[in-house]
Amino acid sequence: MQQAAARFADYLSRNRLRMTRERRVILEQVLAVGKHFDVDDLLVHMRNGGLRASRATLYRTLAHLVDSGMVHKVEMAKGQARYEPMLGRHHHDHLVCLKCGEIIEFESPEVERIQEEVCRRKRFTMTGHTHQIRGYCRRCSSR
Amino acid sequence: MQQAAARFADYLSRNRLRMTRERRVILEQVLAVGKHFDVDDLLVHMRNGGLRASRATLYRTLAHLVDSGMVHKVEMAKGQARYEPMLGRHHHDHLVCLKCGEIIEFESPEVERIQEEVCRRKRFTMTGHTHQIRGYCRRCSSR
DNA sequence: CCCATAATTGAGACTGAGTTTCAGTCTACG
DNA sequence: CGTAGACTGAAACTCAGTCTCAATTATGGG
Ligand SMILES: [Zn+2]
Ligand SMILES: [Zn+2]
Ligand SMILES: [Zn+2]
Ligand SMILES: [Zn+2]
């Protein structure tokens, strides 16, 4: 947390942005909710903790956190974005259960390697990717 | 086209749905615009051909075409959906240029195989997936 | 061929996620 | 301190897509 705050402060100052109370609180709460939350989860979590920030500020701050690389944005179908802190975590992709909403992570160096290879062959400069598998998790597919 | 119409008719009757003038026209226009179009492209293309259907009907019919397997829906970031006819085409995924919007296709049996393997390991029943690489195409990254 | 029934259509209202606007507030830096 | 310029929140707005409902039409049986 100390480190995270320092890293965010650094990102902000490098971009001539300011460290405000709202941004401090949002960073702290983002780390507290943990994985794969959406803006409403965050809002509710903050209210329960007696904290608040407007939706506009949430979106704005999340964009900065994403830009700083401290948080990843996971685009779900139909434009429902989720976020997850990436501090000290490795890149991974997701399996999404269509029934219960569970999100399972997976990592495949092999797939990542093939992606690079494809980009090389197509002379394409990759800046990011989304690899999402939809279906039913163990529990939901057994019933 | 004949075949496509027959296949769609078959899908419709198997689902107690009706073959209407609108649906016939939309299917024909979908095949005519070809790859990776969005609903507005389709609407404009239809107007230029002197044809028309309401937005609601377009969305409804595209959903049926997707459901029948004749068209695939490609979810882009921020919920901008694109569609592409899949008649006689093989499954593939996409590279998307963030600058000019070009969409390049790629196919990797290897990646598909790894996906299946991941699902098996996680006891996950896959119904679909999205694998999209974002970045800059050859032309856009050279300037 | 005609009818009854149920599916379909289009206009426009509506939704939900996210963005923009703008006046008042606050941070940072000298 | 003082100030330039960044930040904030409320509310208006956007955009893609969905829903509602009255009028229209396909279908299949008689
Ligand atoms: Zn990946
Ligand atoms: Zn994750
Ligand atoms: Zn390009
Ligand atoms: Zn394609």
Question: Which strand (E) or helix (H) includes residue B45?
Answer: helix B39-48
CA of B67 to the centre of ligand 2 (A): 29
- Are B1 and B31 in contact by the 8 Å Cβ rule? The answer is yes
Q: What is the mean pLDDT of residues B81-85?
A: 96
Kindly state the tokens that stand for B128. 């679909």
Q: Considering the domain A91-143 in this protein, what is its CATH number?
A: 3.30.1490.190
Q: In angstroms, what separates the C-alpha of B1 from chain A's closest C-alpha? A: 30
Amino acid identity, residue B51?
L
User: A105: helix, coil or strand?
Assistant: strand
Domains of chain B: which residue ranges? 1-89, 91-143
Min Cα–Cα distance to chain A from B103, Å: 11
Segment B33-63, tens digit of pLDDT: 988 999 999 999 999 999 999 999 999 999 9
Give B127's contacts in chain A (Cβ within 8 Å): 98, 134-136
CB proximity B47–strand C (7 Å threshold): no
Q: For A84-123, how does the pLDDT look when each residue is reduced to its tens digit (9 = 90+)?
A: 999 999 999 999 999 888 999 999 999 999 999 999 999 9
Nucleotides of C under 7 A from a protein CB: 6-12, 17-21, 26-29
Mean pLDDT of B63-75: 96
CB < 8 Å & 24+ apart, contacts of B63-67: B64/B11, B64/B12, B64/B17, B64/B23, B65/B8, B65/B26, B65/B27, B65/B30, B67/B11
Q: Encode pLDDT of A68-84 as tens digits.
A: 999 999 998 887 899 99
Q: Is the pTM of this model over 0.85?
A: yes
> pLDDT of B95-131, one tens digit each?
999 988 899 999 999 999 999 999 999 999 999 999 9
The angle that helices A2-14 and A55-67 make with each other, rounded to 10 degrees, is: 90
Sheet strands (E) in B29-108: 71-75, 81-85, 93-97, 103-106
CA B69 to chain centroid, in Å, comes to 9
User: What is A1-89's CATH number, 1.10.10.10, 3.20.20.80, 1.20.210.10, 3.40.640.10?
Assistant: 1.10.10.10
Length A20 CA → D10 C1' (Å): 19
In chain A, how long is the greatest CA-to-CA distance? 54
The answer, for A39 touching chain B at a CB cutoff of 8 Å, is no
What confidence tens digit (pLDDT) does each residue in A128-142 have? 999 999 999 999 988
